[in-house]
Amino acid sequence: MKQISLFRTRRPTQHFEWLNNDFGFFYTIKKHLLYYTTKYQTLELADTNEFGRVLLLDGITQAAQYGECYYHEIMVHPAMCCHPAPQNILVIGAGDGGVLKEVLKYSCVKSVELAELDKDVIEISKKYLKTIHKGSFNDSRVKINIVDGREYIEKNPKRFDVVIMDMIDPFGPARYLYTKEFFYSVKKSFRTNNGIFVMHSESPVTRPKTFLSIHNTLKSAFEYVCPFYAYIHMYATLWSITVSSDKINIKNFNKAFINQKLKKCKIKGLYYYTGIIHEASLATWPHLDRLLRKKSRILTDKHPTTPDKIIHK
């Protein structure tokens, strides 16, 4: 682990982030708390007015204290509410602990396996991002595995009811967790035919070609592929979270069912997700309907590169 001097690198007071080749966003950084290279990536922790503490990996915003609920709640609760018995859960990535926190709210959950490649992300999150994970790493149901997510899932067939993947964008080695072959490995990891897979699927607005390729690649592997749409403030654009299954069509569950399930499971204090948000987030614009009817290249291990150029400047 190599420490990087903030003075020598002259870190800016404003963080600029590109969403595509022509568009991006910025926010002001009050103070850099950490900035160093781990075994796998550059890890940065910054204090901001807009988001509170922010975790960045290779210069890309991953998690933020303020507003994390908009992302983590929609990543977790639709699948957990619609699966009839979500007992054994696998979380890939998500080293900040936000997904863990939401999953562990369900008393029916017996075990949660966390597969995270970079142990530094977990250790830094444990220490500095307590309002995001709220001690979830210490829950007796959680087992932390420092391992490549794809390698882990390929070695653990027929184990999980719900698999939730909260990964970085599809570039570099992470591209191989967005391919058809990987999605078939996810299916093999399901304990029953009711298995549900959740992943973020990029922005249909700022990365439409990549969103479409991920969607169509999921459709090549799963019977039901349902994108949820939400504006995620820390990503500064409309984002998509896609829920896939061979048996459970998440669009069939209405607001009354979701509200009743949340009540039955004694899920209280949510900031964002409700039954009406479940229904609303599944609605598509006419523009998105037309986009989803288009053909696109299926992402494979042989050709894993996404159509939109995801750049870092």
Give residue-wise pLDDT tens across range 179-217.
999 999 999 999 999 999 999 999 999 999 999 999 999
Give me the CATH code for the 68-292 domain, please: 3.40.50.150
pLDDT digits (tens, 9 = 90+) for 215-247: 999 999 999 999 999 999 999 999 999 999 999
Residue-level pLDDT at 263: 98
Best CA proximity match to 79, nearest among 57, 108, 43, 37: 108
List the domain boundaries for the chain: 2-64, 68-292
Q: Which CATH superfamily is domain 2-64 in?
A: Spermidine synthase, tetramerisation domain (2.30.140.10)
pLDDT over 90 (residue 6): no
Residue-level pLDDT at 308: 79
Residue-level pLDDT at 264: 97
Best CA proximity match to 281, nearest among 66, 64, 70, 61: 70
Residue-level pLDDT at 77: 98
Residue-level pLDDT at 99: 98
Residue-level pLDDT at 2: 46
* Long-range pairs of 275-279 with CB within 8 A, sequence gap ≥ 24: 277/74, 278/78, 278/81, 278/253, 279/254, 279/255
- The lowest-confidence range among 7-21, 24-38, 288-302 is 7-21
- Exposure string (b/e) for 76-95, b if CB count within 10 Å is 16 or more? bbbbbbbbeebebbbbbbbb
| Active-site choice (166, 246, 289, 301) | 166
Q: What is the mean pLDDT of the chain?
A: 94
pLDDT over 70 (residue 313): no
**What is the H or E stretch that residue 114 is in?**
strand 111-116
Residue-level pLDDT at 282: 97
pLDDT digits (tens, 9 = 90+) for 15-53: 999 999 899 999 999 999 999 999 999 999 999 999 999
- Quickly state the pLDDT bin for 172 (edges 50, 70, 90): confident
Residue-level pLDDT at 173: 87
Place of tokens 């850099």: 32
Q: Could you tell me what percent of the chain has a pLDDT over 70?
A: 95
The average pLDDT across 147-155 equals 97
Tell me if residue 166 is catalytic: yes
Residue-level pLDDT at 12: 57
For residue 291, which amino acid is it?
A: L
